[in-house]
Amino acid sequence: MVLSYASPHSAPTLLKVLSDATRMRALALLALEELSVGELARCLGMAQSRVSNHLRVLREHDLLDERRAGTSTYLRSAAVNARPDSSLGRLWLALAPDLSELPEHQSDRLRLGAVLADRHADERAFFDRVAGDWDKVGALFEKGTARERAAAQLLPQGIVLADLGCGTGYVARSLAGLCERLICVDRSAGMLEEAQGRMKDITPDRATVEFRQGELDALPLADAELDGAVAAMVLHHLPELSPALQEMRRVLKPGGTLSIVELMPHHEAWMHQDLGDRHLGLEPAAIQQALNRAGFVDVIVEPLEDRYCPQPGPDGPTGAESRATAPRGDVALPLYLVRGRAPQS
């Protein structure tokens, strides 16, 4: 081994510094783990003042990397990150295999195990202590999109979704976290404007959002433009199911999914006028059959635990009359989900 006398870690100096057994033990420990001075003293079974004297010598010879965290300083052996062709790197490579031969090394490592176990217990205890207050002190983000972006990485990239009959954009908002491009379709310019307002904070780095005015039975979408689409609370507005479902099948890629939320048939007649509903809910079997006729496969129907709790409209077409007959606050209508897939070919 050729050691350079010109380097700051000149060989005779290094050998002199490392000829002390305590300093070698300290460096051996600090090559294994980053430790605070107190933790190192515990591992060595020595008073902190004695250890500090040795650390001063190691520091003077640039043999320690240090990191401050609050009131603590954490130490690491500089040899760990030394270039293998530097004097320190080569000397350490030569010495490291024999460190376990040091008589105290085994007991140092046992104490290191206990120190690290205590450190982990302290870290766990810290989070146990603050868990109840964490959402007040450590959970806020400027935009609140960072975690959603991380979650979106788990999905296939380049996904295009649509909210069909998007209304004011409730569903669209939650779809934005799941796709690269989102298309919101509604026949009403007023609804699209509301949806645009609800989604104005969704920036293109999250999802590109488009708003297209159009009819469900003549969708303003290209053939196979979508990987998936939601049609929530909209089919009961249609005079006929089949034309709209055939359109939905056309705009889905092979294998793409359509997800429908609908109301079970009900008797809240005031909803015709106050909420513009054409049908008072729809039979699940009617949607299922229409999907099959439109060529969808793997069609399933599931009840939903949620309930729809509509209020009489303040400016509904029938105004005071309908409000007088409508129940207040106690309508909770059962909902169900229907899902179908466009066939692969």
Window contacting ligand SAM (CB under 6 A); options: 55-63, 82-90, 165-173, 303-311:
165-173
User: Which H or E run includes 297?
Assistant: strand 297-308
User: Which H or E run includes 248?
Assistant: helix 242-251
Contact predicate 336/303, CB 8 Å = yes
By the rule CB under 6 A, 187 interacts with ligand SAM:
yes
Task: State both tokens at 80.
Answer: 């760990």
Window contacting ligand SAM (CB under 6 A); options: 38-46, 129-137, 167-175, 305-313:
167-175
When binding is defined by CB under 6 A, the residue of 216, 263, 335, 342 that contacts ligand SAM is 216
When binding is defined by CB under 6 A, the residue of 170, 285, 321, 325 that contacts ligand SAM is 170
Window contacting ligand SAM (CB under 6 A); options: 28-36, 106-114, 185-193, 337-345:
185-193
Contact predicate 204/259, CB 8 Å = no
Site for ligand SAM in 231-250 (CB under 6 A): 232-234, 237-238
Q: How far is the CB of 163 from ligand SAM (least distance, A)?
A: 6
Site for ligand SAM in 283-322 (CB under 6 A): none
Q: Which residues contact 125 (CB under 8 A, 6 or more apart)?
A: none
Site for ligand SAM in 188-207 (CB under 6 A): 188, 191
By the rule CB under 6 A, 166 interacts with ligand SAM:
yes
Nearer to ligand SAM among residue 92 and residue 211 (C-beta): 211
Q: Which residues contact 62 (CB under 8 A, 6 or more apart)?
A: 8, 9, 78
When binding is defined by CB under 6 A, the residue of 33, 39, 108, 186 that contacts ligand SAM is 186
Contact predicate 198/225, CB 8 Å = no
DSSP summary character for residue 309:
-
User: Residue 306: beta bridge partners?
Assistant: none
Q: Smallest Cα–Cα separation from 280: which of 272, 292, 291?
A: 272
Chain residues binding ligand SAM by CB under 6 A are 165-167, 170-171, 186-188, 191, 215-216, 232-234, 237-238
